[in-house]
Structure 1
Amino acid sequence: MLRFSIFLKDLKSIRKALLLSTVLFVAGIVAGWSSEGFEQFLKSQLQGLGEISQQLGASDNPEWNFFVFIFLNNSIKSVLVMFSGLLLGVIPFFFLIINGMVIGFLLKVVEASGESLFDLIVKGLLPHGIIEIPVIVIACGYGLAFGGLVLRSLGGIFAGSERRSGIGAEWRGFWRKLGTASLWVVLLLLAAAIIESTITLWLMS
């Protein structure tokens, strides 16, 4: 039930939600690159991340502290966003847009400053992002699928007994998938945090 092959197989059952999750994330990146209206908000987000990074970098054991912060921050948020789909998928929706906008705005700032976008992407994002970004998109996909299930359940309240029985079976299957996905999301983000706190940190230092 918790095997990685089961996790991969389960992803096919939420492929529409995964596609929507990907589209929202990419739309967020485009909006962050081109938007002027949210510039102050995005600057505050990057400033907050910069301050945390400076504090961790100045600690006695920066690699370990970076690892703990990155892993706990990403894994807790990802699992919470999966289960927050219970609220009709609203939180995963905005989580994708905002995180995409922050990345898009960061790329825009780096390009405007004359620094190398290639270095940022290849050294700063790609080593860990090749795992981290798809996993976060998957977590949000589960959150969106959860929201869709809630909406279908609300619509089935006045349906016949056969329809309600089908929704009940769908809920039981989804809880199992959510448990399997939560485990692998955390494990994959653990691997991404190890890479980010070692290889990425070394490449960007």
Structure 2
Amino acid sequence: MLSFRTFLYDLRQNRSMIVVATILFVFGLIAGIIWSEQLGNYLASQLDQLRTISSQLKQGSNVQMNYFLFIFFNNAVKSILVLLLGFFIGIIPAFFLVMNGMIIGYLLQSASVHGDNVTELIVKGLLPHGIIEIPAIIIASAYGLRFGKLMLDTLTTSNAPGRQRLKSERRLFLRSIIPASLWIVILLFVAAVIESTLTYWLMS
């Protein structure tokens, strides 16, 4: 049940929502770049919070371990919550995806405006861990979106055959949450290790 093969099978079953989740993330990324001025104050405040946390983490005795623990637990808890809170017709995972995309887009646009090397920022500061972290977040959100769709379909389906089909789908989905959560956490663990070591070293 917890095998990686089972997880991959469930991903194939949920591929339509993974596509939707990816589109929402990319939309947020583009919005953060295009509307950086209009959304600047809000997005800048989000980045300021991260900078404040980063400054606090640097004050500890083992900076890289502090980074690892914060990054891992922050991403893992948020991803599992987003998956489960998809229960509320998928609103929270959709918002989570768009906001994460917007913050990254705004960060890249701000770096470009200030004359920083955006390519270097992407290659050194984003890709090493992001190539694992971003797909993990998209997968978690896709499960949340799937959960939301099931709940919405349940509320809007009144015929007996349809409700019976949805009951079966819900049971299969709820069964898939456990292996999905496990492998999402494992992926985020690996991403946090990379971000707190390789990315940290490259950006230093």
Corresponding pairs, count: 203
Residue 87 of structure 1 aligns to a residue whose secondary structure is coil
Whether 1:201 and 2:190 are equivalent positions in the alignment is: no
Q: Which residue of 2 aligns with 1:151?
A: 152
Counterpart of 2:169? 170
Query: Deviation at 1:180?
Result: 1.1
> Residue in 2 aligned with 1:123?
124
Letter in 1 for 2:71: I
Distance in 2 separating the partners of 1:58 and 1:192: 23
User: What is the CA-CA distance between 1:67 and the residue it aligns to?
Assistant: 0.4
In structure 2, how many angstroms separate the alpha carbons of the residues matched to 1:155 and 1:95? 25
Provide the rounded CA distance (Å) in 2 between the counterparts of 1:102 and 1:28.
Answer: 8
Structure 2 SS opposite 1:86: coil
- Using the alignment, how far apart are the partners of 1:45 and 1:163 within structure 2? 43
State the partner residue of 1:113: 114
Give deviations 1:122-164, integer Å, cap 9, x for gaps.
11001100000001011111111110011111122x212x332
Deviations 1:25-76 (A, max 9, x none): 0010110011022110000011111111111122211011000000000000
Q: CA deviation at 1:16?
A: 1.3
CA RMSD of aligned residues (A): 0.9
One-letter identity of the residue aligned with 1:168: K
1:93-138 CA-to-partner distances (Å, cap 9, x unmatched) read 1101111000000000111111111111111001100000001011
- What does residue 78 of structure 2 align with? 77
Q: 1:179 aligns to what? A: 178
Q: 2: distance between equivalents of 1:25 and 1:183? A: 22
Which runs of 5 or more residues in structure 1 are unaligned?
none
For 2:58, the equivalent position in structure 1 comes to 57
**Unpaired segments ≥5 residues, structure 2:** none
Report deviation, 1:184: 0.5
What is the letter of the counterpart of residue 182 of structure 2?
L
* % identical aligned pairs: 50
Cα displacement (A) at 1:12: 1.2
Aligned mates of 1:16, 1:175 — CA distance in 2: 18
Question: What TM-score do the two structures reach when normalised by structure 2?
Answer: 0.97
Alpha-carbon distance in structure 2 between the residues aligned to 1:47 and 1:21:
26
Match status 1:102 vs 2:103: yes
Cα distance in 1 for partners of 2:55, 2:3 equals 39
